[in-house]
Amino acid sequence: MNPPDPRNILSRMLVTGAAITLAGCLSTESHTMFRADWQDRLRAAEREPADMPLAPAVQAHDGTAWADAKLAGEGPIELSIEEAVVLALRNNRDLRVQQLTPVIVGTFEQIERGAFDPEVFAELAYGESTASEIDRGTGQQFSVDDNESSAIAGVRQRLPWGTEIELSIGQNRDNSNRAPEQQDARIGLTVTQQLLRGAGPAVNLARLEQAKLDTLATLYELRGFAEALLAEVETTYWGYVLEAERIAVFEQSLEVAQTQLEVIEKRVNVGALARTELAAPRAEVARREQALIDARSSLVAQRLRLLRLIDATPQDGLTRDIRVTTPPQFDPQPLAGLDEHILLARSARSDLSEARLRHEQDRLETIVTRNGVLPRLEVFAALGKTGYSDTFAGSFRELYDDTYDLTAGVRLSQFLDNDAADARNQAAYATRRQSAAAIHNLEQLVELDVRLAANELERARRQITATATTRSLQEEAVRAEQERFEVGASTTLQVAQAQRDLLETQLAEVEAVVAYRLALINLYLAEGSLLDRRGFVIE
């Protein structure tokens, strides 16, 4: 066979180089060959995997089958405090976003576990060549045409002990015009075992264990978010109740002020009082009208916030009215067993539980980084059985012959200045120390939260009795001032002042009751028991 023409080889190389250069000059944004069918791809990606895990949900013990019917229809939504929190934990959109976090983080646990999945591999290859060689005996140049094909398949796996195992079977065919055709088949087993860096299940499973703790930590985050949402719903509900009570007080006081103004106007018209006595009652009427306007505006704001939290129907959700059915009045009891509330907080607070999990993750990180400063030392062994023949089937039959190959050895490698691994190890230990200190700090803050919430709860409880007494006495003061006014011993300004004081005490009494409700919510939130006390669990 004649050797190939060098000019043909050169022309092929030039054509290939020109094609590569031309492809590099094409604009990746304008040329049609680089345009992607984004919409088709996105529509295909909309279909979620069949094994997609479900997001954890906050469920009530007694079920929520009535929830959809509660928001159905038109007109005002009648809500008790229990119904409001159930609807919020069922429908709130912020919570729906948060519920997907454990699903996302949980996939990293599966990713880390996948490092130990068996891997199947296969390869097919074909090659041919034309070369010139010189015969050593005669010194003559001759052409060699050769073609070769090979196939290999096998399975490999990494084990938690730091072991890598590979089992393979392959077949190779070599055909040349200068030698007879030869085919060989080989079965091989390779085992590599780490002895220092990467040895042992503790270091190899540390990332998987960290991923498990991370998933559990996101569940505590979800619990904390759900508790904060529940507290916000109850706070908004009682804020709505408070504004409604304020409106009722302002409307009643406005009627009293208007009645008082009419009486004074009649007495002025008959000459029993000077016209200057009209200024005070008129100002009082105007002042109460201003307060009523502000109270009605605050009621609308609270209604919108509450509708957003329970996520009423999307079409008219923020336009519907709300009719609350749970009154704020109840019999408050003194708080007993403060130490028990503190102990409960130390075990139930989700942020404290999450901090402990993060600290455990940091402890596991020191296992990895401490192992990373070690040299890499591994022992390996490869055993193979090969059969040679001039046919494909014959090469496998010859595997039973005495031919074999065995390779064993040791590899060692280490950075002369292992600065990166040392720095990672130092950072891991510092982080572990920091997270431990953060836990102690958080435990103190948790106790402070509980004590402050308990103090506020006791203050609000005492204020309920005090404001009720003050309101009762102020009512007597108003009656006495009106009687003095009737006999001419008082002025309209003094009567208006007495009525204003009565209005303030009435509002203070309502605010004290609602403040106790809010303080109780804050106490349960501080001790981390709000979800449990309301009968909810995370599934």
- What is the rounded (10 degree) CA torsion for 121, 126, 129, 134? 60
Secondary structure (3-state) at 215: helix
- Residue 429 has a pLDDT of 95
Alpha-carbon distance 153 to 167, whole Å?
A: 9
- Residue 1 has a pLDDT of 45
Amino acid of residue 31: H
Strand partners, 192: 164, 380
- Residue 6 has a pLDDT of 53
Alpha-carbon distance 531 to 222, whole Å?
A: 12
- Furthest C-alpha separation in the chain: 150
Alpha-carbon distance 382 to 83, whole Å?
A: 69
Closest CA to 352 of 222, 441, 455, 453: 441
Closest CA to 113 of 205, 219, 193, 50: 205
Cα 217 from chain centre: 9
Q: Which residue's structure tokens are 């050797």?
A: 3
Radius of gyration over alpha carbons of the chain, in Å? 42
Amino acid of residue 3: P
- Could you tell me if 509 and 255 are in contact, meaning their C-beta atoms sit under 8 angstroms apart? no
- Could you tell me if 168 and 153 are in contact, meaning their C-beta atoms sit under 8 angstroms apart? yes
- Could you tell me if 157 and 119 are in contact, meaning their C-beta atoms sit under 8 angstroms apart? yes
- Per DSSP (E only), the strands in 135-222 are 141-159, 163-176, 179-194
CA distances from 535 to 61, 86, 183, 458 (A): 6, 10, 74, 25
CA distances from 462 to 50, 53, 518 (A): 58, 50, 14
Q: Map 394-432 to HEC letters.
A: HHHHHHHCCCCEEEEEEEEECCCCCHHHHHHHHHHHHHH
- Could you tell me if 83 and 69 are in contact, meaning their C-beta atoms sit under 8 angstroms apart? no
Alpha-carbon distance 285 to 291, whole Å?
A: 10
Sign of torsion, CA 347 348 349 351? positive
Residue 120, judged by CB atoms within 10 A of its CB (0-12, 13-18, 19+), counts as: exposed
The full length of the chain comes to 539
- Walk me through the domains of the chain, giving residue ranges and CATH numbers: 69-99+207-375+418-539 (1.20.1600.10), 123-159+163-197+379-413 (no CATH)
Tokens of 320: 């519907």
Closest CA to 83 of 110, 65, 96: 65
Tokens of 228: 């904060």
Reading the chain (539 residues) residue by residue, the pLDDT tens digits are 455 555 566 666 667 766 666 655 655 556 666 677 777 777 777 777 777 777 787 777 665 556 666 677 677 888 888 888 888 888 888 998 999 989 899 899 999 999 999 999 999 999 888 877 777 777 777 777 888 999 999 999 999 999 999 999 999 998 877 777 888 899 999 999 999 999 999 999 999 999 999 999 999 999 999 999 999 999 999 999 999 988 888 888 888 888 878 888 888 888 877 888 888 888 888 988 998 999 999 999 999 999 889 886 655 667 888 888 888 877 888 888 899 999 999 999 999 999 999 999 999 999 999 999 999 999 999 999 988 887 888 888 887 778 888 999 999 999 888 899 999 999 999 999 999 999 999 999 999 999 999 999 999 999 999 998 988 888 888 888 888 877 777 777 787 778 778 888 888 888 899 999 999 999 999 999 999 998 888 87
Secondary structure letter of residue 273 according to DSSP: S
Alpha-carbon distance 186 to 404, whole Å?
A: 9
- Stated as kind and residue range, the H or E segment containing 58 is strand 58-60
Cα 130 from chain centre: 62
